[in-house]
Amino acid sequence: MSTNYGYIRVSSYDQNEGRQLIAMQQMGISAKNLYADKQSGKDFKRPQYQKLLRKLKTGDVLFIKSIDRLGRNYTEILEQWRYLTKIKKVDIAVLDTRIGKDLMGTFLSDIVLQVLSFVAENERNNIRQRQAEGIAAAKAKGIRFGRPPKPLPDAFHAAYQKWKAGKISGLAAAKECNMPLTTFRYRAQHYENANIL
């Protein structure tokens, strides 16, 4: 006897899964057969999804609201789709895309899957690009990211000058400044680049 399951995913804890939940309830899926993750769709290492995979058996139906709720990586969506439909022999119902189960329906669903998963991955890449462009624009305006650097210790300038003149080693200069050697070298490089000399 087959069982209907529902899978819900949102990318972060501040997103609301209400729309997906309502869609699952309208399909008559019981709360005990609903699995939800609040995690990125970049891969399938999601706890509730993995738990759902262990429950699914031949003939079961997995409902998802849209293909991007399953995942956002084109190749991995295709692999997961094939695993579910060909190996586990589970039917998948994408609520935003309804296609029959005959041979033509199977053929069409494979084509639709490829298109939709491509669109899902493309949107993920667009989000990354927009984020990178936003960060670059902010940096161009002088907005700094991360923690502000600690002020240089009082002994830094003198230690730096001795180290640069070859009078002491980098390790000795770092000890005078009470910092690790890697930190001293990093700060010395920025010190040079800022033309503070």
Q: Catalytic residues, which ones?
A: 11
Best CA proximity match to 152, nearest among 125, 98, 123, 189: 189
Q: Please, what's the b/e burial string for 32-64 (b: 16 or more CB within 10 A of its CB; e: otherwise)?
A: ebbbbbebbbeebebebbeebbeebeeebbbbb
Residue type, 81: W
Q: Within 10 Å of residue 70's Cβ, how many Cβ atoms?
A: 25
Tokens, residue 182: 């890697």
Residue type, 63: F
What Å distances lie between residue 14 and 11, 28, 38, 70, 135, CA to CA?
9, 26, 9, 19, 22
Q: 78, 113 in Cβ contact below 8 A? A: yes
